[in-house]
Structures are given as C-alpha cells and as structure tokens.
Amino acid sequence: MDANTFVLFGATGDLAKRKIYPALFNLFLDGKLPDVFSVIGLGRREWSDETFKANIERSLHSFSRREASNAEAVNQFLSFFRYHVLNVDRKEDYQSLLQRVEEGERTAGIAPNRLFYLSVGPELFETIASHIEESGLGDTKGWKRLVIEKPFGRDLQSARDFNAQLSKAFTEEEIFRIDHYLGKPMVQKLQLLQQTNPVLQASWNNRYIANVQITASETVGVEERAGYYDHSGALRDMFQNHMLQLLMMLAGHLPKGDDSEQVRNKKKHVMQSLEPLLRQDVATQVVRGQYRSGSIQGKPVVGYKDEAGIPQDSHNDTFIAAKLQIEDDFWRGIPFYIRTGKRMKEKATRIVIEFREPIKQIAAANNSAPNLLVFEISPNEGIYLRLNTEGEAQQQDLTKVLIGSHKSGSEVPEAYENLIYDALRGDSSFFAHWDEVELSWKWVQPILDAYAANDVPLHAYPAGSFGPKAAQELLAKDGFEWWFDQESEAASAKVQTGTPSVQEPMSIK
C-alpha cells in the first residue's frame, strides 16, 4: 500500500471517535496500514498533539472491537497522529496545514499521496473541497483522494449542485462517497456468495424467485439527532442511500473479478432498470410511518413527537416501506419490497429471497412452505436456506429446516475498517459512485414531492412493532407477507452454530 498522509477534517467529532480511530487501530493490528503513514487531525478546538492522542486512546478503549491493552502497540499506533487547528472558513489555516503536510512528507519520507477525509457536517463539504484546491493542498505529485460522509445532497437538484462543486476540485475517480452499508462484510460478500454457489446462480431469476424483501429495522429512536433527523426522515436518512445500495448490490449480477468500473456499471444498470415511480402512484406503492409511544424490549418509550427537539406537529417519516420493480430479463415481474424504520421490534438488517411455491395443491396437501434464502447482514451475520423436509408426526406432513451459518455481531469486522482500507488502497468498488447517487435521488424525488405536498398518509405505529399495518397490506395485495416478523428472535436464537449445519426444525410460519 502506498505511503500517504491521512488528513482528517472533524478529528474532534463523534464519528472520528466512535468509528474512524477504532477502524484505523484494527487495521493497524492487522498490518493493513502503510508502513510509512501519518494522520493529521483537524478541528477548531485548541488541542495539543498530546491532548489529541489522549482522546484517541480513550476512543480505542471505548469503541474498538479489539482490546487496546497492549501499551506498546497503542503507542506505536498513536505515533502516526498529529493535531492541527483549522477553521474551515479561514484561508490562512489551509496554508499552515499545507506547510505541516509538506514538512511531514519531507521529514518522514512520505510520498506526497494525500487522503482528505471529511468527517464534518455536509454544510462544510464544498468549502473544504474548494479550499483544498485553492491552497495547493490538492496540487501534489502523488495521488489525492477525497472521502466524504453522507448525506450527499437532500434531493436531486441539491445533489447535482453539490457534485458539480466537488468536481471542480476532484475527479470522480478521486471521490470516495461513504455509504457504510457497503462496508458491511455480508454486503461485500453477496457477490462472492453468488459466484461460488452455482445453486444460487441457477435460481437467481424470475423463473424461481417470487419476491425479494429487504429490511433494515432499528430499535433506537431519534436519539440526540433531532435537528438533523426531523429534516431528513427515514427516506433521506436510510432509504435513498443504504437501502437502494443494498438493492443494487443484490440485483447487480456482479461476476467474479469485476473491477470498480464494472461494479459501477452493473449497479447503474439496476437503477436505470428500476421502473420509475410516478408521483400519482406514490400513495399506493409507498407506506410512510411515524412511531408513537410503545415499548422496546420491555421498556416504555415515548412517541416521536414527544422526543426532545421534535415539534408536536412534525410530519416527519420514521418508517418507509416501498414496492419496486426491476425491468430486466432477470428480475422482470419480481416485486422487491424494501422497508426501514426506527423504534421497531428488533435491530436487524436482512434480505429474504422467497422462492416460488410448487403447485399450490401439493403445497397445501403436504403443509409445505416456500423456500427462503436469507442473508443476515447485521448486527449478526449469516446465510440460511429454508427447506421443506420430512415431518415427524404423519408420513405425508412436511416441516421446515433452516440450513446455514451464523456469526454473532462481535465477531464481525466493522464496516469502517473495510471502507477505510479500500480508500487507502484506492479501490472504490464499495463506495457510492455519482451515477448511482444521482439515479437514486431521481427515483426517490417523486416520493419527496408527494411527502412535501402531504399526499401520502402518515401512518402511526407503536414503538416496538414491525411498523404500520399498511406495510403488511402492501405485500398482502400481492399475496405475500413479510417474513420473520413474528418470530425472528426465535429464528436468530435457534441458528447459532458457526459452521454450516442442519438445524432443528424452526417454528417460523
């Protein structure tokens, strides 16, 4: 991996503390950082290098998945870091930063490769990008890269304007747009699992698949982010980015050995093949919800409008479910149902592929159920296949087994480790490319417009549920239902061994 300087804007912030330092530390422990490497942390706070390092060390103790108990390793890791005071609006601060970066490159013999990581609010992205260009920081003989956090715009037009601004300072190949769902190990493996299991490849089409369900449910509410979330909602916060990226990764038919350009084209194809959603159809294809009071894991919680900082008359969406269709030879006629929400019954991100049932009469006579292929993405990870098998009671009756493998969340590497590693290597396969972002906003725009005009009912759902009833009706209209809503806890409790094995019959539907 090339030697480089990692310039971190927002080094004193929450994301850096919770995700970036622990990820860098775990990469360091795995020998995945360059041998010659330097991190310059930036913020307005008047911190010394020592204060900065002490904060990083605290963050490792609190948030690293691996213990930071080896003092020698921690000290070696901390030796990469220095702090520099910078206010993003002040031109002169970029000049002193440039001097510091160049001095480091000279004294430590670091090749002039520079990675600029923008872990700051989106309102600062454009200012920083243009100052990087004007100050000469981006004018280097080595490579330069810009890593940016979400959100990338708040609608189609603002995303286009923002991209046009960034493009003045960085080329598309130099921009790494983080979507942390693309860093989740199971998402990164979707491609490999398809390639290495011919049985999946053979059945990966509309001849065998009845529908696909993608769920990201959360038990947390708005937390301390009322100011941001009440202007974002589930549609902007999760659906436009993470959920549509999951769709692209699943439906993209990404063969082995694809480089980032091919991955990008395949994902773009998925978005281009999505049947456009017409404004007049939003109310029938999309369910908008907002949580009211209820209980999560036995504890009472308040409704959305009673959360601190949320206005009593807020119409913001904390839940969305939508039906989508991909118009290509593989997926034509298969409905994709996508849903995400806060304050739901369980924390789980999973994809369920429901296969077509055999002839109805045979199915009914034998008590069989559709085969399911389940990708458990987070917090636990696994892949399961649900099959019909011989029942115990009567000769003809069938029962169901889940075959699969399972890892609990603590064994799974953090998304940020994968993403930072890829950005350091210059591999943008698992980042959101501009075409995808633009097409996602384009698909979502009629929903934004319909929400803004209040043309879509806002369904209340109790905290601790699986969302509004209308989300069930969305599938019921097509003769389907969401899998695992009733007994998903039982499902995860029963499939626990790490190695592939035939499990006890499950009591799921």
Ligand X SMILES: O=C1O[C@H](COP(=O)(O)O)[C@@H](O)[C@H](O)[C@H]1O
The binding site for substrate comprises 180, 184, 218, 237, 342, 347
Helix (H, G, I), strand (E, B) or coil at 287: strand
| Strand blocks (E) in 192-241 | 209-217
CA dihedral 212, 218, 222, 224 (to 10 degrees): -130
Structure tokens at 122: 């989106």
Cβ atoms within 10 Å, residue 106? 10
Tokens of residue 287, six digits: 């369910």
135 versus 472: smaller Cβ distance to ligand NDP: 135
Instruction: Tell me the closest approach of the beta carbon of residue 234 to ligand X, in angstroms.
Output: 8
Residue number of the CB atom closest to ligand NDP? 13
Q: Per-residue string for binding with ligand X, 167-206, x by CB under 6 A? A: ----------------------------------------
Nearest alpha carbon to residue 295 among 485, 464, 465: 464
- The footprint of ligand X on this chain (CB under 6 A) covers a number of residues equal to 6
Closest approach of Cβ 149 to ligand NDP, in Å? 4
Q: What does 349 bind: ligand NDP, ligand X, none (CB cut-off 5 to 8 Å by kind)? A: ligand X
What is the per-residue binding string for ligand X in 11-40, x denoting contact by CB under 6 A?
A: ------------------------------
Q: Is 412 in the site for ligand X (CB under 6 A)?
A: no
The residue whose Cβ lies closest to ligand X is 237
Least separation in angstroms between residue 16's CB and ligand NDP is 6
Rounded Cα gap, residues 369 and 85, in angstroms: 62
Starting at the earlier edge strand, list the strands of the sheet with 4-9: 81-85, 37-43, 4-9, 114-118, 144-148, 175-177
317 binds, among ligand X, ligand NDP, none (CB under 5 to 8 A by kind): none
Inter-residue contact 159 to 437 (CB < 8 Å): yes
Residue 246: name its binding partner from ligand X, ligand NDP, none (Cβ under 5 to 8 Å by kind).
none
| Cα separations in angstroms, 386 against 261, 383, 389, 390, 483 | 35, 10, 9, 13, 12
Q: Which does 467 bind (CB under 5 to 8 A by kind): ligand NDP, ligand X, none?
A: none
Residue 306 DSSP label: G
Q: How far is the CB of 375 from ligand NDP (least distance, A)?
A: 22
349 binds ligand X (CB under 6 A): yes
Q: Of ligand X, ligand NDP, none, which one sits near residue 218, judging by CB under 5 to 8 A according to partner kind?
A: ligand X
- List all residues 6 or more positions away from 365 whose beta carbon is below 8 Å from its beta carbon: 396
Helices marked H in 368-410 — which ranges? none
At residue 232, the 3 state secondary structure works out as coil
Residue closer to ligand X (CB basis): 49 or 223: 223
The footprint of ligand NDP (CB under 6 A) covers: 10-15, 18, 43-45, 86-89, 119-122, 149-150
Catalytic site includes residue 242: yes
Note whether 414 binds ligand X by CB under 6 A.
no
The structure tokens listed for 149 are 């956090």
CB atoms within 10 A of CB 223: 10
| Interaction between residue 317 and ligand X (CB under 6 A) | no
Number of residues written out for the chain: 509
**380 is an interface residue for ligand X by CB under 6 A:** no
446 binds, among ligand NDP, ligand X, none (CB under 5 to 8 A by kind): none
Question: Which residue's CB is nearer to ligand NDP, number 10 or number 341?
Answer: 10
Known binding-site residue numbers: 10-17, 44, 150, 180, 184, 218, 237, 342, 347
Taken in order 173, 179, 180, 181, is the CA torsion positive or negative?
negative
Q: Which one of the listed residues 242, 253, 269, 459 is annotated catalytic?
A: 242
Q: Whole-number minimum distance, CB 155 to ligand X, in Å?
A: 17
Q: 10 Å Cβ neighbour count for 504? A: 9
Nearest approach in angstroms of CB 218 to ligand X is: 5
Q: What is the rounded CA–CA span in Å between residue 395 and residue 399?
A: 11
Asked if 218 is part of the footprint of ligand X (rule: CB under 6 A), the reply reads: yes
CA atoms of 426 and 415, how far apart (whole Å): 16
Collapsing DSSP states into helix, strand and coil, what is residue 289? Answer: strand
Binding positions for NADP(+) are 10-17, 44, 150
307 binds ligand X (CB under 6 A): no
* Interacting residues with ligand X (CB under 6 A): 216, 218, 237-238, 349, 378
Q: Which amino acids are annotated catalytic? A: 242
